[in-house]
Structure 1
Amino acid sequence: MLLYKQKKNQVAKGKRFLLSVTVLGSAGPIRFVVNEEELVAAVIDTALKSYAREGRLPILGSDLNDFLLYCRNAASDAISPWETIGSLGARNFMLCKKPQHLKAADDGRSTAAFAQKGGSGSWKAWINKSLNLKISPRWISYILIK
């Protein structure tokens, strides 16, 4: 009788299953095998690495703290990064970027830094800052039209 010997590099912890992660804005899902005891944060990290390795667009980045994972079968809140993926009983997930206001709250930065970052891209703010004057938007529109 021949006995099955487990390979040295293969881990025998828990069940493994095929996971499908759809990235919001991407063409199709990413599929990979995970251990049921893996944390959601590790699944997000693996999905981001697979996404980048495949050269998919749009480019997302690699910081797993900028993303949320949702279960596609249930309309619910984002899954906690500290939960195990097997405890959810689902195999299909959606990966989305965190909204800007959630990123600022999670980073622990002050709201002033967030407000400054948000206003710096406005052309009205640039004109006001450049001229060091408070010009009303009505006058800016008038100047640009003429």
Structure 2
Amino acid sequence: MLNYKQKKNQPLKGNRFLISVTVLGSSGPIRFVVNEEDLVGAVIQTVLKSYAREGRFPALGSNLNDFLLYCPISETEALSPWDNIGSVGVRNFMLCRKPQTETAIDVEKSPSVSRKATGSWKTWFNNALTLKISSH
């Protein structure tokens, strides 16, 4: 597991700003202040800790390597854990679990069973909106 903690005795550099991170499947965003020099990996770690501390569902776990942070304007590309959060230029993000990969062994064992591919958060969001509109 990668370690993204910054040392507490280091002076803060750069600007601080409020970000909002929506966790896919959760009831609402998590908001907190970050330094523009903070790494994306550190932001993911902070979101996971805050999410668990607040007792939100569904439970996510604490392994930051299982998650990707997306920027709504970059559509399909996840942010690199080594990028600075301030380099993106936005304040709203989406945290999603990494897609599960199917191994060739699993395909050989059950060739007649096909798994539905996991879509992006935008596909999930559009489907949720469609269901909500059709139920009213």
Superposed pair shares fold, TM > 0.5: yes
Q: Distance in 1 between matches of 2:84 and 2:50?
A: 20
Aligned partner of 2:43: which letter? V
- Report deviation, 1:97: 0.3
Aligned partner of 2:31: which letter? R
Q: Distance in 2 between matches of 1:43 and 1:32?
A: 9
Aligned partner of 2:97: which letter? K
Q: Distance in 1 between matches of 2:56 and 2:10?
A: 29
Kept in 1: contact 2:12–2:35 (CA 8 A)? no
Kept in 1: contact 2:68–2:79 (CA 8 A)? yes
Kept in 2: contact 1:73–1:92 (CA 8 A)? no
What residue is the counterpart of 1:76 in the other structure?
76
Q: Is there any run of 5+ residues in structure 1 with no aligned partner, and where?
A: 1-8, 105-110, 123-146
Calculate the aligned-residue CA RMSD, in Å.
2.4
Q: Distance in 1 between matches of 2:90 and 2:28?
A: 18
Q: Secondary structure at the match of 2:19?
A: strand
Change in Cα spacing, 1:60 to 1:85, as seen in structure 2 (3 Å) is same
What residue is the counterpart of 1:90 in the other structure?
90
Report percent identity of matched pairs: 69
Aligned partner of 1:12: which letter? L
What residue is the counterpart of 1:137 in the other structure?
none
Q: Distance in 1 between matches of 2:18 and 2:10?
A: 16
Kept in 1: contact 2:66–2:98 (CA 8 A)? yes
Per the normalisation by structure 1, the TM-score is: 0.63
Q: Which has the higher helix share?
A: 1
Q: Does 1:55 align with 2:55?
A: yes
What residue is the counterpart of 1:46 in the other structure?
46
Q: Distance in 1 between matches of 2:70 and 2:30?
A: 14
Per-residue deviation, residues 86-145 of structure 1 (Å, max 9, x unmatched): 0000100000001111xx7xxxxxx467x39x96xx9xxxxxxxxxxxxxxxxxxxxxxx
Alignment of 1:3-22 (within 5 A): 11-22=11-22
Q: Secondary structure at the match of 1:100?
A: coil
Change in Cα spacing, 1:76 to 1:112, as seen in structure 2 (3 Å) is closer
Q: Distance in 2 between matches of 1:15 and 1:85?
A: 11
- Alignment size in residue pairs: 103
Structure with the greater alpha carbon radius of gyration: 1
